[in-house]
Amino acid sequence: MAFLDWALHPTELWAAFWYVMRHAPPDEKTNKLQVSGDMRRCYDFLEMTSRSFAAVIQELNPRLRDGICIFYLVLRGLDTVEDDMTIPGAKKRQILETFHEALYVKGWTFKESGPDEKDAMLLVEFDVVINEFLRLPEDYQEVIADITKRMGAGMAKYTRARVETLDDYNEYCHYVAGLVGHGLSRLFAESRLEDKTVGEKLELANSMGLFLQKTNITRDINEDVLDGRCFWPKAIWTKYAESEEELISKRGRERGIEALNEMCVNALEHIPDVMEYLNQIHEPSVFKFCAIPQAMAIATISLCYNNSNVLDGNVKIRKGEALKLISQSTTIDSVKRIFYRYLVQLEKKNDPSNPFYEQVHKIVDKAKKDIANTLPGGAPVDFSKEFALIALFFVSVCFFFYSYLAN
């Protein structure tokens, strides 16, 4: 199956080849950064907690690289506390609400994570993160501490509150992802690599985070329900099911797909802000850092739409597809073409019998027109069918020669 996937998607195989050629193993990459001591250990943690983010962070301009590495690790530590279901509620809230204060306490660590927390070691050695945080410029420290404080307070709130209304949903996603967009935008501006207005247009930054978070929440419904939690807003899922468990059950499949499609529509509404935000980013490494997750998100939400497999388990885009998106997300025009491509795919899945057909058609049609109107040459040409035919011919020839040689 893996061979067939690569054969049917030759451009992904090419992207994977160049990715391997251009990206060194983790240890070699860290050596090239010329860091040592605690900062080297921080980059080790970056690799351990997120290989995908590690790659783009390590390619950032040196004026931002260490600061964003530390920002990521601080929020990963905070997120590890929030996700740990073994920590009693009152204690968890206290840790979340005061986590920002620990950033200024040398030697602070946390060793009470549950046995199943995969990122527990980061908290066990959190003192190394604190040491490097305190070496950052003061303006970077202020941004990181402020976002950590606000995020921790929001996370603490939702240890008791449920995501009931659409306003709750937007607020929760703001706390856990929109604020990340705020912090990153402020760091970009503080670095002087981007214009100061990037750090001021925080509604656009918030939408960047919400598009990513809503895509993940939509995709992860099966895993979350089985873990005893649900981040889909009650205002949506109660229209289709009596309980969260019924959402993912076989008996309620048709209604579950309708709920899934409404969640996808909610995420797709952020596309105009995403495009506007990316259009204001000019430094190449910062652009790639911002664009790659958004490209992954549009590919994922397109995959999820009207896809019953989402209710059965965690669906993901192909690894080769992800590597191709990484290689292509280099300029605003290339990202617009990526979005256009997946909007076309989504449009093809939009069945007129679907209750959300008109909403999806309206969102997709407007986004496609906006992209086509700003691209040199207009709307991109879809070569996917031609590539599929070439791939099929290639596979046929390979099997012919293999059979011939075997005889």
Catalytic residue among 43, 99, 172, 277: 172
Distance separating alpha carbons of residues 85 and 81, to the nearest angstrom: 9
What letter would DSSP give residue 383?
A: -
Which DSSP string do the residues of 203-260 spell out, in sequence order?
A: HHHHHHHHHHHHHHHHHTHHHHHHTT---S-HHHHTTT-SSHHHHTSSTTHHHHHHHH
Q: Decide if 84 contacts 113 (C-beta within 8 A).
A: yes
Please indicate whether residue 93 is annotated as part of the active site.
Answer: no
Taking 3-state DSSP, the helix, strand and coil percentages for the chain, each rounded to the nearest 5, stand at: 75, 0, 25
CA 129 to each of CA 103, 121, 124, 136: distance values in angstroms, whole numbers, following the listed order: 8, 12, 11, 11
Output the six-digit token pair for 283.
């430094």
Question: Any idea which residue has 């050695």 for tokens?
Answer: 125
DSSP state of 199: G
Q: Is the dihedral of CA 205, 301, 233, 271 positive or negative?
A: positive
Whether residue 189 contacts residue 198, with contact meaning beta carbons closer than 8 Å, is answered with: yes
Catalytic residue among 289, 339, 340, 356: 289
Out of 135, 162, 229, 357, the active site residue is 229
229 counts as catalytic = yes
For residue 219, indicate whether it is catalytic. yes
Question: Is 22 noted as a catalytic residue in this protein?
Answer: no
- Residue numbers annotated as active site: 172, 219, 229, 289
